[in-house]
């Protein structure tokens, strides 16, 4: 009986060994077959390792009182002290509120590129369509410094065209850039103007892939242009929209430093300050590295949680997901 069990175990071990050897051979064969692809992927892999994964080890200073002379590993552990400060400091609460509001407004305007792509797709005159596409693409190539200069000039209380129009209508000029009430709409609308055209590229590519026979079938059924958009076009590009939205929601608190900082001044800073500009002021200028690292880690965790939740909901509702 024992000899039989020993033989069975030996046989099982031999089968496992044979399977492992077979798997190793298949892996080596695959590496050899696609070695050119693996070779050209090395720079990308090194980029992510050096600039994305290695710096993650520095996140440990969020749980320490980082001392630049002692170094990361010899600094004193303080646990969640800096995270508690994030939710107890009035300035941090104000900045977090601003970031949440502006990020929520960004989500509200997220469908704008899709709407513009649908409108451009309905244009039948090719030259006119290309002209419009070029015009709406151009702001994407302008830096935020140039964009801020343009809008500060346009909204100037003395020489701006907007205030000239307001005065022509019989009202007093408004100092838009010096008002806390206007800084959030300005930040959202300037981003919309800068990004909406560029965001249509992916949607137009998706629209180009819609089978024309679907539109012909819809026409035969008596569908008008609006019904064709609702019943053919939108369902066809819904997977694209879902993926882009999931990628966007993962950066919910990453509103962007440069797009905000160039518009800030002491008069509008109370409602315009966000986490990124706060990190710059407190972390880099005041050298509170541990505190601002805690803020950055908090942003990453929130983005990860929102991405996982949104991906789960999208998979259940539409069947589209990132993984």
Q: What is the DSSP string of 67-112?
A: ETTTEEEEEEE-TTHHHHHHHH-HHHHHHHHHHHHHHHHHHHTTTH
pLDDT band at 218 (very low <50, low <70, confident <90, very high): confident
In our burial notation (b when 16+ CB lie closer than 10 A, e otherwise), range 94-127 reads ebbebbbebbebbeeeeeebbebbbebbeeeeee
Q: Determine the 3-state secondary structure of 262 from DSSP.
A: coil
Which residues of the chain are in CATH 1.10.3720.10 domains? Answer: 81-317
Neighbour tally for 214: CB within 10 Å: 15
257 DSSP assignment: S
pLDDT band at 37 (very low <50, low <70, confident <90, very high): confident
pLDDT tops 60 at residue 252: yes
Give the contacts of 260 (CB within 8 A, at least 6 positions apart). Answer: 102, 187, 272, 273, 274, 276, 277
Which CATH code of 1.10.3720.10, 1.10.357.10, 1.10.3090.10, 3.30.450.40 fits the domain covering 81-317?
Answer: 1.10.3720.10
pLDDT tops 60 at residue 11: no
Provide the token pair at 313.
Answer: 């909901």
| Predicted pLDDT at 5 | 44
Q: Which helix (H) or strand (E) holds 284?
A: none
> Of 41-45, 144-148, 284-288, which gets the smallest average pLDDT?
284-288
Distances from the Cα of 217 to the Cαs of 2, 206, 226, 227, 232, in angstroms? 73, 19, 15, 12, 10
| Predicted pLDDT at 3 | 52
Q: What is the mean pLDDT of residues 191-211?
A: 90
pLDDT tops 70 at residue 102: yes
Question: 297 or 22: whose pLDDT is higher?
Answer: 297
Q: What is the mean pLDDT of residues 102-121?
A: 91
pLDDT band at 10 (very low <50, low <70, confident <90, very high): very low
């Amino acid at each position: 009986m024992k000899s039989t069990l020993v033989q069975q175990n030996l046989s099982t071990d031999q089968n496992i060994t044979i399977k492992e050897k077979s798997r190793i051979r298949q892996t080596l064969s695959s590496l050899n077959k696609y070695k050119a692809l693996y070779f050209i992927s090395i720079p990308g892999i090194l980029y992510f390792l050096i600039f994305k994964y290695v710096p993650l080890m520095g996140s440990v200073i969020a749980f320490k009182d980082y001392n630049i002379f002692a170094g990361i590993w010899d600094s004193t552990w303080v646990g969640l002290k800096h995270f508690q400060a994030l939710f107890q400091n009035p300035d941090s609460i104000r900045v977090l509120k601003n970031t949440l509001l502006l990020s929520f407004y960004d989500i509200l305007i997220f469908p704008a590129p899709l709407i513009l792509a649908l409108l451009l797709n309905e244009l039948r005159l090719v030259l006119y369509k290309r002209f419009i596409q070029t015009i709406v693409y151009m702001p994407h190539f302008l830096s935020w410094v140039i964009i801020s200069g343009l809008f500060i000039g346009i909204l100037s209380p003395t020489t701006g065209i907007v205030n000239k129009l307001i005065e022509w209508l019989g009202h007093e000029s408004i100092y838009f850039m010096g008002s806390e009430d206007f800084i959030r709409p300005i930040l959202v609308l300037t981003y919309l103007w800068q990004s909406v055209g560029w965001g249509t590229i992916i949607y137009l590519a998706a629209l180009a892939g819609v089978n024309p026979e679907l539109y012909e079938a819809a026409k035969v059924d008596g569908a008008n242009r609006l019904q064709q958009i609702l019943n053919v076009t939108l369902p066809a590009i819904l997977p694209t929209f879902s993926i882009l939205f999931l990628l966007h929601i993962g950066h919910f608190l990453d509103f962007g430093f440069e797009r905000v900082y160039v518009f800030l001044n002491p008069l509008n800073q109370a409602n315009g300050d966000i986490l990124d500009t706060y990190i710059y002021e407190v972390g880099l200028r005041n050298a509170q590295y541990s505190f601002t690292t805690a803020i950055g880690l908090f942003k990453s965790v929130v983005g990860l949680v929102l991405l996982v939740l949104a991906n789960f909901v999208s998979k259940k509702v539409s069947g589209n997901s990132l993984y």
